[in-house]
Amino acid sequence: MLTWPHPGTDWFHTLTEAEPVFLAIAKAVLRFQHLLISCEQVFRTEKLDRELNQWARDNNLPGRAHCISAPANDTWARDHGPIAVTTPDGVRLLDFRFNAWGGKFPWEKDDALNRHLAEGDGFGDTPLEPVDFVLEGGSLESDGQGTLMVTSECLMTPTRNPDYDRGAIEALLGETLGAKRVLWLNHGYLAGDDTDSHIDTLARFAGPDHICYVRCDDPDDEHYPALTAMEEELRQFRQPDGTPYKLTPLPWPDAIHDEDGQRLPATYANFLIINGAVLVPIYDVPQDQAALVTFQELFPGREIIPIQCRPLIRQHGSLHCVTMQLPAGVVQL
């Protein structure tokens, strides 16, 4: 799922740079699977539907695009999109509340987006279930076997769910998502990140027994203390059988700043796994090539596809942040 940028968003001044990134993501996905696109502008929705599907047919690809017009404040589908859970009774699409990372920006359209998509047949026959709890997909990392990894900086922020302590949050994650246990990181951040340290910018599962993570190796960098402390926490984590996780550090990209001198949150941890491939954010820095080599080692059976995401980090997010995966069968064409 992608939520397309439009002139009514903060992308207004950079649409010409941002849209090619969204198109690159869309075309990469269509090489392997179907794609749901939400777009506020009706004429743009129709154009995307027509052109992307013609491109997919011309290239004999398996994927098709299902484009629906729906209002949106922004483009961060990872955080306002539905969170899917596979159960013995089928797929459940959970519509958690979204309040723009604790009320930092307007959010009313994004909070209602999933309902609009459901009404527009975006999710086929899969029901959408509301959950009265603020939760963003980027704040969760799952091994697919009952373990969630999260950050306390994000989930414990009082502007999200002030009445919930850590135990209550764990209970809710167990009830709604089937989490059997939750690994909490208490350290780690990226300058320029608006999400209160989403886990998908810091540490990710490369397999049930394997975590890849952001490591800063420059003692003079402002991130060094927090990320070094996070690395030590990861070393202390244990799998359900008590064994340590295999850990792989990701390259640390050179600092990138905007025109005002603010550091932007470039991270290779914001990759996206799709059917048969991994899309990897790159930033036109010397470390890009090493990152691609690392991901080929992490996912030897998948094609590694670089996506130039420098335009995305100007809005303080990256590749994983603008996408949300949906189980097979949800998008029906």
Question: Has residue 333 got a pLDDT over 90?
Answer: no
DSSP letter for 86, please. Answer: E
> pTM here?
0.97
Of 122, 116, 119, give the one whose Cα is nearest residue 49.
122
Can you list the pairs that 103-111 forms with residues at least 24 positions away whose Cβ atoms lie under 8 Å?
Answer: 103/159, 104/194, 105/10, 105/73, 105/74, 105/194, 106/73, 107/73, 107/80, 108/73, 109/71, 109/72, 109/73, 110/3, 110/72, 110/73, 110/74, 110/76, 110/80, 111/80
Strand positions, DSSP E, 111-202: 128-134, 141-142, 147-151, 181-185
| Predicted pLDDT at 185 | 98
Q: What percent of the chain has pLDDT over 70?
A: 100
Predicted confidence (pLDDT) per residue in 10-66, tens digit: 899 999 999 999 999 999 999 999 999 999 999 999 999 999 999 999 999 999 999
Question: Has residue 165 got a pLDDT over 90?
Answer: yes
When pLDDT is averaged across residues 224-247 and rounded to a whole number, the result is 98
| Predicted pLDDT at 260 | 92
Domains of the chain: 2-322 (3.75.10.10)
Question: Per-residue confidence at 133, pLDDT binned at 50, 70, 90?
Answer: very high
| Predicted pLDDT at 332 | 82
Mean pLDDT of the chain: 97
Residue partners of 162: CB distance under 8 A and separation at least 6? none
| Predicted pLDDT at 238 | 98
Question: Has residue 305 got a pLDDT over 90?
Answer: yes
Question: Has residue 317 got a pLDDT over 90?
Answer: yes
Ramachandran angles phi, psi of 252, nearest 5°: -100, 110
